[in-house]
Amino acid sequence: MWQLDSPVRHYPWGSRTVIPDLLGLPSPADEPYAELWMGAHPDAPSRLADGTGLDVAIAADPDLLLGPVVHQRFGARLPFLMKVLAADRPLSLQAHPTTAQAEAGFAAEEAAGIPRDDPTRTFKDACHKPEILVAITPVEALCGFRPVEESLHCLAKLQLPELKPTIAALARGGLRAAIPQLLALSARRRDSLVTAVANRAAEFVAAHDPEFINTYRWAATLAESYPGDPGVVISLMCNHLKLAPGEAVFLPAGNLHAYLSGAGVEVMASSDNVLRGGLTTKHVDLAALIEVLDFSDGKVPVLHPVLGPGGLRYPVPVDDFDLTRCQVDVAPGVLTTAGPQVLLCTEGTAVLAGPDGELVLERGSSAFVPAGSPVSARGPAVLYRATTGL
């Protein structure tokens, strides 16, 4: 068992309280703490006690640390990344590619000689990036496209001439016609459209009209931060999801989404492929985004855990990762798994016991457990355990 020294990412949308509180640091912090990364992603790997990156340690002995099955399936790398994500402001509207799309896009950009740190680079690696977020505070998010009939009603209710082309495209050709039409608008038309939508949405909110009130409230709010951004209008066609602590959402390839507020434990395939579609000042690759977007519509299910080995497990349809919430009591409980594990303590103090001794995890600390290593834990504490689905 190795205790991890894990990096924090300070993005502008982050919270100044959630992660500092978790880590026992002064709160509110002087800068936003957006994400705490626990894993072996080469951009920001967790470090071991001697300063070695977890990615380097795994590459040196992948059969021992990952296990032969995981090594054969994913190569000499940890296939998942665990994060604590804490948002005080909305993230960008984004989607992630399938493995086949990522491999093709990555190969094309490598052949074109585009540096991997170029801000216009779209595919940073050849991997897909499905993810799950389990709320630890109330979370709001845009997630997938709501039913088309609902979107038509939401847009038409605003009674804006500026929206007529979008409504016509949506009615005639569905989301596959309406979304590209919005993203391709000129800067001048974007400005007038988003301004009109934000103003009218604010009027409905001020009048306390309950229908679509949360959708309209967020549209008006997003327009303040991103004037002229077509993502404001696209948000009207997205499902607005509210997660209570303990509830989760799984985001497959092609799902257009944006976390709006709140904090959660997130586990994803270890990739950095993000294709943005709005609510951002960063590069938007329109052609690549349209290629990877899933234009199907409908409600997105909220995931609830099921009882599994070690605790409450959140089943996902991929084998890159698996996530369990473990309520650890004073009596030791077995946490041994066939694959590698990352364990994060979010409440209390956990004492991990294995063949090489004991390791104490205080709130906010994490550990890496090699594949198949016998390990038990006693608390009281709450641990989140990420491993593979193999």
- Residues annotated catalytic, as ranges: 276
Give residue for tokens 């070690």: 310
Whether a cis peptide bond, with omega within 30° of 0, leads into 340 is no
How far is it, in rounded angstroms, from Cα 19 to Cα 29?
9
Contact 345, 361 (CB under 8 A): yes
How far is it, in rounded angstroms, from Cα 195 to Cα 301?
32
How far is it, in rounded angstroms, from Cα 142 to Cα 300?
10
Other beta carbons less than 10 A from residue 191's beta carbon: 14
User: Phi/psi of residue 306, each to 5°?
Assistant: -120, 155
How far is it, in rounded angstroms, from Cα 350 to Cα 375?
12
Give residue for tokens 């077995």: 334
In this structure, what token pair is assigned to residue 127?
Answer: 């991997």
Contact 332, 378 (CB under 8 A): yes
How far is it, in rounded angstroms, from Cα 379 to Cα 100?
43
User: What 8-state DSSP symbol labels residue 15?
Assistant: B
Amino acid at residue number 167: I
